[in-house]
Structure formats: C-alpha cells, structure tokens
Amino acid sequence: MTILNVEALEAAHGLLKAVRGVSFSIAPGEVVALVGANGAGKTTLLRTIAGAHRAAAGAISFEARNITKLRAHQRVRLGIAMVPEGRRLFAGMSVEENLKVAGAHGRRGRWTIETVLEAFPQLKPKLKARAGELSGGQQQATAIGRALMTNPRLLLLDEVSLGLSPLAVDQVYASLRTLLDSGTTIILVEQDLTRALAVSSRVICMLEGAIVLAGRSDALGRAEITEAYFGLKRSATPS
Amino acid sequence: MNLLNQILQGILLGGFYALLACGLSFLFGVMRIINLAHGSLAVLAAYLLMSLINATNWPPFAGLILVLPVMALIGWALQFAVLNRSLRSGPLIPVLSTFGIAVILDNAMFQQYGANTVSLGPDIGDLAYNSWNLTSTLYIGQLDALIFATAVAALGGLQLCLTYTPIGRTIRATAEDPSVVELVGIDARKVYAMAAVISMIFAGLAGAFLGMRSSFAPYAGGPLLIFAFETVVIGGLGSLWGTLVGGIILGVAQNIGAAINPRGFLIAGHLVFLAILILRTFGGGSIFRALRRLGRPA
C-alpha cells in the first residue's frame, strides 16, 4: 500500500529540466530523506509534489488519486503540506496568526495551536510576536507548526536546518521527533547527511534531476550515498 | 476664522477622498495592482444609481442596496476576466489592461448618458446643502459630515475585519505572499476576487457620494483617479488609515489653495502631493542634508 506514487515525473524551470523521469512510491508512516548536491532537483521535486511547481510530464498520485493537475491549495485539503525552504512565514503577522491562517484552511485533526505548542514549546512565549522578528530556529518551528496546522498526512520538509545555528537545528529536530513518532509520512530534503540518515527510514539520492540511488537508510553505506551524492561513480566511468 | 473654516472643509473633503482612494489602495495592498479604471468605476456607480433612481424613484440611499452588490459583482467579474489573467503576465499588463477598461467605460458611459453633467444632489433634498453653523464663519455641511463619518466607519470596519477575523487574516497572508498561502490551503485567486469585491464596494460608495455632493460626467473618472492616486501616495500605498490621512492632507491643501486664490484649488493639492512624493522618494533626511550642504561655504 502506498500513500504517494510518483511516476516518470518531469519538471522544468524554463528550458532547464530540473526533474527528469523521477519515479518512486512512499508507504504510509515512512520517513524518506531526499538528498543530493545543490541543484540536484530536490526542492523542485518537493514543490512539484506540493503543487507549487507545475509538472511538465508524468503523474503524481496521492492515496490512489491522481493529483497531478490539482493546485497546491487543493492538495493541502487532501492532506499534503509543505514547509518551504527559507521558512517563508507571513512576516508581518504574529506566530499565532500564522498558525491560525493555516488551521482555518486545512483539514481537521489532532494538530491545533495547543498541540503545536506542545511539540514546539519554544513558541509558547512568542505566540504574539511578529514572525519576522523571531530567531531562525523559532521561525523554522513556526513554519513546521504552520504546516502541521493543516493536519497533513504527507509532510514535505525542505531544508529545515538551512541557515540555523547547530543549537537551533538540535531544537528543531528534537521537536520533529514528536512528529516522527506520531507516524506522519514525511519527505525530508536535508543537506546534512548524518541527520538525514538518522531520522529517515529510506533515502533517495538525486543527481542532475534524476534518482541515482534509493534504498533503506540502514542498508545503504555512507560511502555509497556520498558517491551517488556527488556523482563520483559516474565521473569515474569513462564515457 | 475663514482659514479655519477652509481647513475644516478640507478635512471633511478628505473623507470623500479617503473613501475614493481606499479601494485603490486596498487592491494594490493585496494584489499589487494599480487599477487605473478605479475613477471610471466610481463614476459608473454614480450613473448606475442615477439610472436606478430615474427608473424606480427610490431614494438614493435605498438605491445603494442594489448598486453596491452590482459593483461587487463587477469587481468579481473584473478580477476573474481581466486582473487574474493579466497578473500572470508581469506588472505592466494589469496597468495597461485597467487603463483599457477605463477608456472603454468612459466611452460607454458617454454613449449611454451623453456629455451633459448630472448630479444626484436634487434627489437627496435638504441634505445636499444643509449645514450646522458652529459660528458665523464656521460650518459643517451635513452631507460632508455623513461622507466623512462613512469613510471613518468603512475604513475602521475594514481595519477591524483585517485584524480580527479569519477572512482578514487570510487577506493579509495573501497580501504578504500569494504563493505561500496556496501551501497552507488558501486559494489566492478567491482572495483576490474578495479584494476586488471590497475595492469595488468602496468605489461604489465613493461614486454615489460623488453624485450627491457634486456634478459628474462620463469623463470624470480621470480626474477622480488622480485625486485617489494622490491620496494613496500621500498616505502610503496599502495603508488604510494612511489613506484617510492622505485624503485629509489633500483636501486641506486644496481648500487652503482655494482660499489663497480661487484658481488655486487643484494646483495646491498637486504641489503638496509632489512635495510629499519627493520627500518619500529621496527621504526627508537626504533633502535636509542636501540643504545644509548648500548653505555650507565651499
């Protein structure tokens, strides 16, 4: 049984193909780490699954329903939420308002302002503060909380540790643990390979828009992933 | 005392300008579109009200019950048929398309109603000219007071709605980042439609009051747009209370200009607008620094 099925997906930025014939499936409750160097197409793939970027070809099915043509807000209502790279909070609004906006338009479920604050206690004293005035870690917690307020069945996390101090990253990942333990299906884009391997059950490695390696996190060797990550195997092969 | 009265009349006139400019400012704040048809749409509302009064003999304020929903419908249609499509094509296309709508509307109204200036003043009876005399030289026109109170109530209501209601939060979030709101389940196009509807309701109110407080003609939209634009720039684009302040500054400047010279009404408003635009563009601090440099010996 799969919750998400991606088939021969292609996405482009103008003439540049950022995602080339990507196919994979995810089972409910799985945590999949999407790794790869900068420009590998990870963010574009995530945005295409979320509906923020149009698919050029291929198909995306969510819970056996073809969602390729659906717009992002329609996918949110089906249960797909995304935490975009760089947080992209509504900076002029308070933390509470950021959470409420998402809560009003998503699905009903266990995630409310109270449960989000339980998962991210660092936000409690900042509830009335403007999102733009928070620290990087608090902003990331707000961004994840905002996505959770839509009560997703599939959560797409794009570079949650980017630009954060090591302490803030630890805090965010500690809070994410609640989420991981709750059985939410997650696709995580992460530059930090150690963290990605630690939290995920499966790894998909991308290079130049295509999947070059996929497998269970505990079965793949670090050296094998690093080789695929940088395309070392391919460049070592004479053309 | 006469100057004080001119200032008072300017403040009241500012209420009308605020009502007129609010829709323009609000639409820009949410959609980042400058609607060049805003003035013409206000005039269209005045003509719609006039047609309704002529056809039904309804009092003008009762006619608003029908005209404002029609304006809201026009706003919704405008958003879906024109603004939404043109928005995808870069910032210049919405400006050009709304300019085109203004031209079409002006000529259509000219075709339908002719070139004569008309007024809804006679339809509101004594309200058109009754006033409260505070002193022998200081008075408040009842219609002007009503327009000012409507402007304050409408702006205040909109501000409260934006601050405290879920719809208001949705609009503010969309104004901040329309691509991200889609990721939290909001259909940005529907929010834009809502913004266009609110903008047109304000245009409808302004158009109705325009017809009641003065005369209007098919091509009155252009000058109205200039006043609205000046109000918005003085008050700050996208700021609701700033729009009221901008309207008051423009109204007071025009009235003081008229007190100095009967032909100074328009030019005084334009000069104040220009001065504030320069200050906003180059920053007051830079100008004062430049002035200090000019006064310094070489």
Give the model's pLDDT for residue B10. 95
Stretch B251-274: mean pLDDT, rounded?
93
Name chain B contacts of A146, Cβ cutoff 8 Å.
184
The CATH class of the B2-295 domain is mainly alpha
User: DSSP assignment of chain A, as one string?
Assistant: --SEEEEEEEEEETTEEEEEEEEEEE-TT-EEEEE-STTSSHHHHHHHHHTSS--SEEEEEETTEE-TT--HHHHHHHTEEEE-TT----TTSBHHHHHHHHHHHS--SS--HHHHHHH-GGGGGGTTSBGGGS-HHHHHHHHHHHHHTT--SEEEEE-TTTT--HHHHHHHHHHHHHHHHTT-EEEEE-S-HHHHHHH-SEEEEEETTEEEEEEETTTS-HHHHHHHHHTHHHHHS--
- To the nearest whole angstrom, how far is the Cα of A68 from the nearest Cα of chain B? 15
What amino acid is encoded at B121 in this protein?
Answer: G
Q: By the 8 A CB rule, do A56 and A46 touch?
A: no
Mean pLDDT calculated for residue range A223-237? 68
Of B155 and B89, which is predicted with more confidence? Answer: B155
Query: A10 to chain B, minimum CA–CA distance in Å?
Result: 21
pLDDT band at B205 (very low <50, low <70, confident <90, very high): very high
pLDDT for residue A168 is more than 50: yes
Average pLDDT over residues B31-49: 95
pLDDT at B1: 53
Contact B176 A93 (CB under 8 A): yes
> Mean of the pLDDT values across residues B238-258?
91
B283 min Cα distance to partner chain A (Å): 23
Chain A residues with CB under 8 Å of B186 CB are: 73, 101, 105
Name the residue type at position B293.
R
The residue in chain B having the minimum alpha-carbon distance to the alpha carbon of residue A83 is B183
Contact B173 A76 (CB under 8 A): no
Which residue matches tokens 């994979």? A24
Rounded percentage of chain B residues whose pLDDT exceeds 90: 77
Q: Report the relative pairing of strands A154-158 and A80-83 from DSSP bridges.
A: parallel
Between A211 and B282, the higher pLDDT residue: A211
Q: How far apart are CA A127 and CA A99, in angstroms?
A: 9
* Region of poorest pLDDT, from A65-79, A179-193, B30-44: A179-193
Average of per-residue pLDDT across A86-111: 91
Contact between B151 and B244 (Cβ < 8 Å): yes
Q: Which of B170, B172, B183 sits opposite A72 (nearest CB)?
A: B183
Give yes or no for residue B224 having a pLDDT over 60.
yes
Q: What are B133-153's pLDDT values in tens digits?
A: 988 889 999 999 999 999 999
Residue type, A115: T
Q: What pLDDT does B284 receive?
A: 61
Residue A237 pLDDT > 50, yes or no?
A: no
From B94's Cα to the closest Cα of chain A, the distance in A is 23
Instruction: Tell whether the model's pLDDT for residue A218 goes beyond 90.
Output: no
Is the pLDDT at B297 greater than 50? The verdict is no
Say yes or no to pLDDT of B287 above 60: no
- What's the whole-model pTM score? 0.87
A176/B26: higher pLDDT: B26
pLDDT (0 to 100) of residue A215: 86
CA distance B172 to chain A (A): 8
For residue A108, give the 3-state DSSP assignment. Answer: coil
Name every chain B residue with its beta carbon within 8 A of the beta carbon of A71. 182, 187
The mean pLDDT value for B247-269 works out to 93
Selected residue of A90, A95, A146 to mutate for chain B interface (largest B Cβ count, 10 A):
A90
Q: Is the pLDDT of residue A239 over 50?
A: no
Mean pLDDT rounded to a whole number for chain B: 91
Contact B180 A149 (CB under 8 A): no
Pairing of strands B118-119, A4-13: unpaired
The reported pLDDT for the residue numbered A167 is 82
Helix (H), strand (E) at residue B133: strand B131-133
The number of C-beta contacts closer than 8 angstroms across A and B is 71
